[in-house]
Structure 1
């Protein structure tokens, strides 16, 4: 019943947690380059240690139940102990699943370090639907930003390209928070489809449009090494907000990573240096995501799951306005509160996706 190898692993993690806990409390430690990474480790290890303490309590309770079953002469007490024992065994299995999920952060050789606890880069792009797709992208952008505000995350616009009439053709956000930012948003990657009567439709016909969402985990310099000789840098005049400054200086930056053909643009800052820095961050995240996608696809074949593969070509969700319905096609789940959903109440759907992924 008691898994000795698991206990040994948990004891090592507890020891590491206590060591990190002491280190980050030392004066001037926050100035070190690895401070953020230590905090990420601390966050995950804290969760492991808390689950471990709960795990030990359950093991102790099972031992007590076994003693009653073996030695107590009261049949009613024995039956009660047997019932409680089976409940605790189910809890134990559930805790082991949660622990196994958290263990992934230790697998550094597999470049999978605290994945869910990273900040994220969120990319939205129009698909089919012309101007209506641009309007829908703006609606989805509003949905996400309202969600971020509800849970206390911060975001910055890295790049934005306006639509022909209204809305956006493309927008990229830098999302930061003290919870599982990437762990929550990763389920949003894929094609989002809308069914509604466009404002531009005079005859009241329902149209179908689509946008693509891509979620990238933010990475550190030490995790992705980019040779600057492999990058083609171009500058151009910004087309965004900025008054007279827009037409006078070439502050916008376009980076092309020649080996992978990945292209990144940034024009939101007035400084070319700041735009270059932001574009580099996006570029690193995209290269890193390409590496991780290969691993995720291998896993998804084994697990027969498309929930967290990050495949951007998969139609994951439909927003049906006439029926006030949001449907996630991966888990066949519908929520009949489209207005609330579009106002940022998306956590329930994310939780459904998490539970599905954890239980397959």
Structure 2
């Protein structure tokens, strides 16, 4: 690696060690705010520091093995040393790549919770059922990751289907992984109501937005209207007894109009807070997309920006295959994926995204 990069890694390692010392000091240990701030920074640096220390260890082993190979005369020992050196050189190259990826600029939203919006697309009732399947898939995935899910708003369509469902996923790294799910999802299968056994194609759209703090997006009350009404449908019988549902219309009657409806809680105040959170997330995503276009940035399928212009994934039931079109890869065991086995797909998307970002940095 270049000397400048080594110096940077040494500086990061020194800061990591300094943070460990700071957190051990009594005055910091009794100050929750400072302790949390130092702990967060330390956790963010830890993967890079561990990779750099492993790199230095491999470098020392390469030096020792090269010395042995240079001075050893026994052919059997030389062969063993050569095999070990080949392995170490391969390991060093892997660590170099890992370090470069870890040094890439972080998405500032990666540490945030995620707000997901699922809507039925083409296909009528079958599309609504597919949206419900996707919601169950993300629910199971969140359970496996130890994340919490809270439904913000849901509009049912037929038995067991959703015309639209909006929910929040809370947990460390939620947005950093779920942002790759934004786009059009397509399913090919024989519906339960299909008497002739014909395969139907339906779609559902997924938007993934980072949760936004109130200080990140300033909302002027004069820019939106709040309507309250009696809840119905999803949420149970109890919500129907009061005007607890909330509809927020942002800049009504203009090209910028955004409508958010929340009725899942019995509390009007909670529904209003949830609706405002969704509104802030949508406005933030819109501003981020505008900024990316101005900068000419391209990201893998515009992940996390709510882009729905193309189909990102196909779930083919007859062939037990899931195809992610962004990376051109097929995955088997479709039932397992719909049961929350998403890590193997998302991991491949992260690898492809990192490779694209590294290539972009190298081209500058």
Q: Same fold (TM over 0.5)?
A: yes
The match for 2:362 is none
Structure 1 residues 128-150: Cα deviation after superposition (integer angstroms, max 9, x where no partner) = 11111111111111111112222
CA contact (8 A) 1:155 1:174 kept: yes
Which of 138, 142, 163 aligns to 2:157? It is: 163
1:235 equivalenced with 2:249 (yes/no) = no
Work out the CA distance in 2 between the residues paired with 1:246 and 1:119. Answer: 29
SS in 2 for 1:306: helix
Q: How does 1:126-165 map to 2 (within 5 A)?
A: 126-165=120-159
Q: Indicate how the Cα distance of structure 1 residues 294 and 14 shifts in structure 2: closer, same or farther if over 3 A, else same.
A: farther
CA contact (8 A) 1:40 1:117 kept: no
Aligned-residue offset at 1:330? 1.9
Which of 179, 189, 207 aligns to 2:200? It is: 207
Aligned-residue offset at 1:169? 0.9
The match for 1:225 is 217
Which of 294, 312, 319 aligns to 1:316? It is: 312
Q: Indicate how the Cα distance of structure 1 residues 250 and 59 shifts in structure 2: closer, same or farther if over 3 A, else same.
A: same
Aligned-residue offset at 1:337? 1.7
Work out the CA distance in 2 between the residues paired with 1:67 and 1:56. Answer: 17
Aligned-residue offset at 1:51? 1.2
1:181 equivalenced with 2:174 (yes/no) = yes
Q: Please, which moves more after superposition, 81-90 or 350-359?
A: 81-90
1:269 equivalenced with 2:265 (yes/no) = yes
The match for 2:301 is 306
TM-score (ref. length: structure 1): 0.82
The match for 1:190 is 183
Work out the CA distance in 1 between the residues paired with 2:352 and 2:88. Answer: 23
Aligned-residue offset at 1:164? 4.2
Aligned-residue offset at 1:172? 1.5
Work out the CA distance in 2 between the residues paired with 1:24 and 1:219. Answer: 29
The match for 1:287 is 283
Aligned-residue offset at 1:75? 5.8
The match for 1:6 is 5
SS in 1 for 2:326: coil
Structure 1 residues 152-203: Cα deviation after superposition (integer angstroms, max 9, x where no partner) = 221111121111454111111211223x322221221111111122233344
Work out the CA distance in 2 between the residues paired with 1:255 and 1:134. Answer: 25
Q: Indicate how the Cα distance of structure 1 residues 269 and 104 shifts in structure 2: closer, same or farther if over 3 A, else same.
A: farther
SS in 1 for 2:341: coil
Aligned-residue offset at 1:55? 1.6
Work out the CA distance in 1 between the residues paired with 2:40 and 2:114. Answer: 14
SS in 2 for 1:313: coil
Aligned-residue offset at 1:319? 1.4
CA contact (8 A) 2:134 2:338 kept: yes
Work out the CA distance in 2 between the residues paired with 1:281 and 1:127. Answer: 24
The match for 2:345 is 349
The match for 2:113 is 119
Work out the CA distance in 2 between the residues paired with 1:309 and 1:245. Answer: 32
The match for 1:30 is 32
Uncovered stretches (5+) of structure 2, i.e. residues with no partner: 357-364
CA contact (8 A) 1:188 1:215 kept: yes
Q: Please, which moves more after superposition, 350-359 or 74-83?
A: 74-83
Q: What root-mean-square deviation, in Å, do the aligned CA atoms of Structure 1 and Structure 2 show? A: 3.1
CA contact (8 A) 2:244 2:267 kept: no
CA contact (8 A) 2:188 2:202 kept: yes
CA contact (8 A) 1:135 1:168 kept: yes
Work out the CA distance in 1 between the residues paired with 2:162 and 2:38. Answer: 38
SS in 1 for 2:298: helix
Q: Indicate how the Cα distance of structure 1 residues 216 and 53 shifts in structure 2: closer, same or farther if over 3 A, else same.
A: same
Q: Indicate how the Cα distance of structure 1 residues 50 and 352 shifts in structure 2: closer, same or farther if over 3 A, else same.
A: same
Q: Please, which moves more after superposition, 97-106 or 55-64?
A: 97-106
Work out the CA distance in 2 between the residues paired with 1:197 and 1:328. Answer: 21
The match for 2:324 is 328
SS in 1 for 2:319: coil
